[in-house]
Structure 1
């Protein structure tokens, strides 16, 4: 599914994009790519200061082509209001990018940690899909795309952050189901899995002078890679970075899947008793 929706010959409407978590990081980089392709863009975020800055950055003399929305993605009433605003402003939607997410760590017994991360990272996506998938399906003569941001931590499940990993594992499962359920429609579905990326979670907020670590990709690199893979028709968009190659990513995912297949203990990649076996397997296998 191409990243830029194809409008029917009867329509004169410009292509439109709605991006959650769009005021910084990967979301903002995707918004810039959409604007460069002539799309109208709606930016959804909770940070009103960054929303105002994003509108100024993206408008380029056409403020009517950039809308901003202060939305709590955990709140279903906010989503219903957002749908109404989008419908009144544009009448249709071509590209839905569900990207809003938060980090943070906690431990067992920390209810607030689990609820906060799952409410945003998981139910923020669930709410967006339940609000806009029927809207997209009801469009006539208009091809659209949905991209959902996952994480490698939702695939390889490294120890240390159970709520975040679980939220992203659930998002992966939702995206896979959605892709299957919409396979006979004009809606393409893609799962974006960034590698190490210099985003707001690591200090890269608009206006910051923080320097990108050498091993990380920039949000712009992730956005370019995302659109490239969308154009190639790929569902899984698993980004490398400057430290981790696509082949190493594949090895790590295959080893993780082997825990269940070979009835090993979970998370063997990080268990001392499996260190030599894991290292040897990684050295001897290629993809």
Structure 2
């Protein structure tokens, strides 16, 4: 498989939220391609274990893998991460702003989970991009920023409003970022929005040890991401074992249809519109 030009042997990647799940799977995939990798995650045993595992893999491939303790909601820690990555590797070619948390929230619930989710899932992505991008652009080699969004940031289902707000923000920010980059003459840095499906990770496990049948593994998600990057996709919309792309598209079209058709917000879950949505999903309607 011919890879995206930023993903090549000798290049370097930084991945936040890299100690588990999609971030760790991406780190392994990049090392397999012969890239140097620095993962960033919260300080602790999980980061140390992941760092050791990646260092062993990297040694076999003759590359470097490093782990750096970072809380992405803290601007100064992101600045330290960028300095450490530049010191270790020189030019950075891939930044994956992937760190994310998912404590439960309610509109009128406790303040702390709101602050943490917005701080990690949204501000961490914005600040990570703003800190790393100038240098990644200036070195002039092919480079990319991959921001991890969510389908929940597009269809905004009820259940965890802070998470939806943060992921909707990541979508809007990454779209603005790619528009900006593509309008800079000679710019070889680009942005992509990763939109995972149902993936079995520590974030989604909820205490389960076994992967649910419908969930993808982090490795499947990263494999799909690499194929999408090779194809030049900006929106990396991942299916999973339960939901195919056609279903995702219909859910998203219905969501935007709430505005166009002047329906109540989140009409898909509204008692007056539930049946109409089901009919639309089954191909019996047009989202009206």
TM-score w.r.t. the length of structure 1 is 0.91
Higher relative contact order (CA 8 A, sep 6+): 1
SS of residue paired to 2:241: coil
SS of residue paired to 2:272: helix
Distance 1:6 1:195 in 2: 23
Matched, 1:58 2:54: yes
1:190 alignment partner, one of 192, 214, 218: 192
Distance 1:6 1:271 in 2: 45
Residue number in structure 2 paired with 1:28? 24
Residue number in structure 1 paired with 2:172? 173
Distance 1:36 1:5 in 2: 14
- Map 1:207-222 → 2, pairs under 5 A: 210-222=209-221
Q: Which moved more, 1:217-226 or 1:42-51?
A: 42-51
Counterpart contact for 1:117–1:163, Cα < 8 Å:
yes
Matched, 1:235 2:231: no
Residue 122 of structure 1 deviates from its aligned partner by 0.5
Residue 284 of structure 1 deviates from its aligned partner by 2.0
Counterpart contact for 1:101–1:120, Cα < 8 Å:
yes
Matched, 1:258 2:279: no
Counterpart contact for 2:58–2:65, Cα < 8 Å:
no
Q: Which moved more, 1:63-72 or 1:219-228?
A: 63-72
SS of residue paired to 2:103: coil
1:86-139: CA deviations, max 9, x gaps? Answer: 121111001100000000112214221211110110111111011011111111
Residue number in structure 2 paired with 1:119? 119
Counterpart contact for 2:94–2:143, Cα < 8 Å:
yes
Structure 1 residues 61 and 282: CA distance shift in structure 2, 3 A: closer
Structure 1 residues 286 and 220: CA distance shift in structure 2, 3 A: farther
Residue number in structure 2 paired with 1:5? 6
Matched, 1:146 2:145: yes
CA RMSD of aligned residues (A): 2.1
Q: How many residues align?
A: 278
Distance 2:48 2:210 in 1: 23
Structure 1 residues 64 and 276: CA distance shift in structure 2, 3 A: closer
1:31-84: CA deviations, max 9, x gaps? Answer: 110000000000000042122212222223629601110011011111111111
SS of residue paired to 2:222: helix
Distance 1:138 1:256 in 2: 39
5+ residue gaps, structure 2: none
5+ residue gaps, structure 1: 8-12
1:208-240: CA deviations, max 9, x gaps? Answer: 991111010000000000000000000001111
SS of residue paired to 1:243: coil
Residue number in structure 2 paired with 1:163? 162
TM-score w.r.t. the length of structure 2 is 0.91
Matched, 1:104 2:103: yes
Structure 1 residues 250 and 225: CA distance shift in structure 2, 3 A: same
Distance 2:163 2:135 in 1: 29
